Amino acid sequence: MIPVCTPAEMAAVDAAAPQPTDVLVDRAGAAVARAVLDEMGGGYGRRVVVLAGKGSNGADGRVAAGRLARRGVRTTVVDAAMAPGHLLAPGSRQTDLVVDAAYGTGLGRPFEAPIVDAPVLAVDLPSGLDGLTGEARGRPLAARRTVTFAALKPGLLFGDGPMLAGRVEVVDLGLDVSGATAHLLTDVDIAALVPGRPADAHKWQRACWVIAGSLGMEGAAGLAATAALRAGAGYVRLSVPGGGDPGAPDEVVRMPVGADLGSNGSDEARFTSMVVGPGLGTSAEVADGLARLVATSGPSLVVDGDGLTALAGSPTGDGRSAVFSGERARPLVLTPHDGEFARLAGHPPGPDRIAAVRALAGATGAVVLLKGPTTAVAAPDGRVLLAAAGDARLATAGSGDVLAGIIGAFLARGAEPLAAAAAAAHVHGRLVTAPGIDDAPFTGVAAGDLAARLVSVLEELGVDGSPGGEADRSEGGR
């Protein structure tokens, strides 16, 4: 996992550093110089312009300029405060790369960057990008690559950050970021978060019950149940209030439930997880049934889609009261997009998405997964895991239903709620970026395609594979 620290947290880390500032600046400048040489494919005879401010970013850039000059790079340092409107002559081929070392996270005003005609490498983050929220303030330069230090800054992951930062490299300067409470997941983390299947497994050890769908929305139920099956649940039961054909595989067991989500002689205790809400509708009966499920003891419960809206808009208020009851009678995972978040919390998440998801998790006592290009998942104790593995191909109808099913399966496999939700979000992203589908067009990818990819992606990530013990899992987790 890659630590993620806010600008304020990084300021505290810098202040606590045992090394003198000049040592840290020298390390940072050396790292920038190495990245510049790598980006250009060499140094001798090439030309680099360093746009340098007065602060620490500027100091890093000036150290990099000196090191590049010693490698034969023709280097020019331009004071950011005095930079012309057009840094290079239009159409000029005399500069191979511009280093943006103008301003860092401490910039409190918009930055109007000069126009450049060469690729840009940013130091720590593109100047003018808010390090906390990712909001572009003014007119920042769009970098091909960003070299940041010790930890990722949230602004590199949210808002305009991914578009402006390009490829991001985190460089270790010897700073202590072990206290970070937010982390970005990578491929190698997933196998450790999701338990493998034991040799003596039987189906009821990993049973997941999906209650979803309604008249005309049966497909949502089928997508969630199929994803749960493909993501490793040993037994999947699907209940569609009012009946209907959900289009799920034959292996998914159908069982009717009433409009209030109750069933006669329920054997709920046999299940390890439940997924409730995709395509369910928002009637008063649904809201009351959900309130009962949330408030009573039982297996881990994922509430998604219509389930969130039903709880937030319960006519009696019982649903919302059940969500905000504090101590949970059962583990609860809520999976809102921005609109559902606003209905639950009473306000939109705002630009600081890490703070927003932490606040809702703390207020509800639930794990909260806030969907977005970078998905933020928070536990009630303040821990946050981020997933940024996907792309715009996930913005398709039914994609969220697939995600809910994956979370249900990972809970059924024995993952703790924060790990299950965050790992599912990463795997969900990998369904469109893993080898074999990463060259697919950005239109035409359907939610059904995602579920079909689950088995192979879980194998590629080392979560599943041929039975062979821990050795196979460790090798598969590359």
Run means of pLDDT, 10 residues per run, the chain, 478 residues:
95 92 95 96 91 93 96 92 77 82 82 90 95 93 96 97 96 95 97 86 84 86 94 92 76 80 73 93 87 89 94 70 77 96 94 97 96 97 96 90 97 97 97 73 81 91 68 38
Q: Does residue 93 share a domain with residue 166? A: yes
Whether residues 97 and 204 share a domain: the answer is: no
CA distance 191 to 24: 35
Do residues 266 and 398 both lie within one domain? Answer: yes
- Same-domain check for residues 261 and 134: no
Kindly give, in sequence order, each residue whose CB lies less than 8 Å from that of residue 125, ignoring residues fewer than 6 positions away. Answer: 104, 105, 131, 146, 148, 153, 155, 156, 161, 165
Residues 139 and 194 both lie in one domain? no
| Same-domain status, 223 and 251 | yes
Among candidate residues 409, 352, 402, 400, the one with its CA nearest the CA of residue 378: 352
What pLDDT was estimated at residue 107?
A: 72
Cα Rg, the chain, nearest whole Å: 25
End-to-end CA distance of the chain: 13
Judge whether 450 and 399 are in contact, CB under 8 Å.
yes
Q: Which domain holds residue 452?
A: 187-476
What pLDDT was estimated at residue 414?
94
Domains held by the chain: number? 2
- CATH code at 47? 3.40.50.10260
Query: CA 207, CA 234: separation in Å to the nearest integer?
Result: 6
Residues 126, 23 share a domain? yes
Domain identity same for 267 and 383 = yes
Among 159, 180, 201, the domain-final residue is 180
User: Which of 180, 203, 235 corresponds to the end of one domain?
Assistant: 180
Based on the fold, state whether residues 374 and 390 are members of the same structural domain. yes
Q: CA geometry: angle at 437 spanning 306 and 466, to 5°?
A: 90
Same domain flag for 268 and 205:
yes
Is there a single domain that holds both residue 194 and residue 160? Answer: no
> What is residue 135's predicted lDDT score, i.e. its pLDDT?
95
CATH for 450: 3.40.1190.20
Q: How far apart are CA 37 and CA 46, in angstroms?
A: 10
End position of a domain, from candidates 117, 149, 180: 180
Whether residue 33 is found in the same domain as residue 160: yes
